[in-house]
Structure 1
């Protein structure tokens, strides 16, 4: 069983690998073909941000009334997933589906089942999901 990486930087790398896996499959969430750009998570001054693949904007990856995820081009399901990712980076705990919609197990992405299973396999292998 793969353990959760110890440092925020290691967990950030795990999440960015999962984002790339999601972007390479199915409907290619987190990848913008026109701009040939992938989304990614970054840490700046101890805060976690999501760099949106479509807008290119740095999005504060926290649920706040003031924020309202300005600059985020994906829907609520992906916003919940991004917040799961942020929590994992910050807390170093299993956080899948803490922010709604089932996380990586969500059946509503419109991805083929084999793609979802491949994403889940990668996430388990990297220590994001429990085996």
Structure 2
């Protein structure tokens, strides 16, 4: 519909534009899901913070490796720098909460932290 209305201007939305929009959507969706976990106050969920941090850094890395184009690559690099400024060292309370989670325990927490710092 947009392309039909802008046909006289020659400003069309191309497949490349949609591809970039999909990449940005996927990355921001990961952040949105994490925000719901980080800020939900009616159920205990601190044990899930490490997993959400892993999802964010993994999404940034994988999207960056997929060669999304120079503008998106620059955006992802800036996101990673900002993320690492705040979450290079995870607060111990997140680790303790993950260890106390019966589904994760000590071994799972060790594996999660190893994977997080490898990313």
TM-score norm. by structure 1 comes to 0.29
Higher percent of residues as helix: 2
Which structure has the bigger radius of gyration?
Answer: 2
Higher percent of residues as strand: 1
